Amino acid sequence: MIEAREISKSFGEKTVMHSVSATFETGKTNLIIGKSGSGKTVLLKSLVGLYDVDRGAILYDGRDVTRMGRHARQQLRQEIGMIFQGSALFDYMTVLENVRFPLDMFTTLSAGERRKRAQQCLRRVNLEAQADNLYPAEISGGMQKRVAIARAIVQNPRYLFCDEPNSGLDPTTAGVIDSLISEITHESGITTIINTHDMNSVFTIGEHIAFISGGRKLWDGDKETILKSDCPDLQSFMESAVRLMSLGK
């Protein structure tokens, strides 16, 4: 379980996150939703430790990241997998090398074992063996996302973070990516946090949802209760999102 306790973050004079508290449970797909510029990426990057928060605490199963030293934080990061909006695959490595990279850096497995584990993860995300020796620039956006998922899970992480994992993908591929993340979360019992503004994701995999607006958490619940929410900002977000969906954008 990951818990944010009254965390705040400013960039210069501008406060982008105001005393946000939220709990993200283990074995569930936890979604952070909100409009562009609402502060959800800052929240996700703060949770994962890419930004240092100004105030508050972030607890990973009781371990406070904000009070950890650099070494302890680096150790914790080996329990974390992250899927970035643009996949963030290393251009100079092949698909297989990208997935094998965390194993090369942190394990004492033999070269054969590392290769086998990386291939296992690539097959898990339904990527054919022919793709193993291709470079990221040679594969489609959807395939890049699947490689990013494989890389994120190769070390059996306890925590999985996804920053807009289906942005820039067609609805079918986006659905495939959502399903993959949800399946992996349930089969491995990990804590997954997904940052999204895609309402399809909300209604298909949203087991726990936190709505962020203006750097504040205004609502949390699940996909069953979201439609009954009386939060005006959430209602307006939902209306505009549903309108865009019906227009096919």
Partner 1 sequence: MIVDPGIGMIGRYCRFMYLVMGRPEKWGVFGRRILQETYKLGVDSLGIVTLISFFVGAVVTIQLANNLDNPFIPTYTIGFAARETIVLEFSSTIVCLILAGKVGSNISSEIGTMRITEQIDALDIMGINSAAYLAAPKVVAMVVSVPLLVMYSMCVGIIGGWVSGFMTGMVPSDEFIRGLHFMFKPYYIFYSIFKSSLFAFIIASVSSFFGYYVHGGALDVGRASTKSVVVSCVMVLMVNLIVTQLLL
**Least distance between partner 1 and beta carbon 150 (Å):** 13
- Considering beta carbons, is residue 43 or 234 the nearer one to partner 1? 43
Report how many residues bind partner 1 under the rule CB under 8 A: 26
CB of 65 to partner 1, least distance (A): 13
- Residue whose CB is less far from partner 1, 31 or 80: 80
Phi then psi for residue 216, to 5 deg, are: -125, 145
Residue with tokens 């510029």: 37
| Binding positions for partner 1, 100-129, rule CB under 8 A | 101-102, 104-106
Q: How many whole angstroms from its chain centre is CA 111?
A: 29
Q: Scanning residues 159 to 188, which ones bind partner 1 (CB under 8 A)?
A: 161
Q: Which residues ranging from 67 to 96 are in contact with partner 1 (CB under 8 A)?
A: 73-78, 80-82, 84-86, 88-91
Which CB atom, from 50 or from 244, has the smaller least distance to partner 1? 50
Which residues ranging from 28 to 57 are in contact with partner 1 (CB under 8 A)?
A: 45, 48-50
Say how far apart CA 142 and CA 148 lie, in whole Å.
Answer: 10
Q: Per-residue b/e over 92-131, b at no fewer than 16 CB within 10 Å? A: eebbbbbbbbbbeeeeeeeeeebbebbbebbebbebeeeb
Contact residues for partner 1, defined by CB under 8 A: 45, 48-50, 73-78, 80-82, 84-86, 88-91, 101-102, 104-106, 161
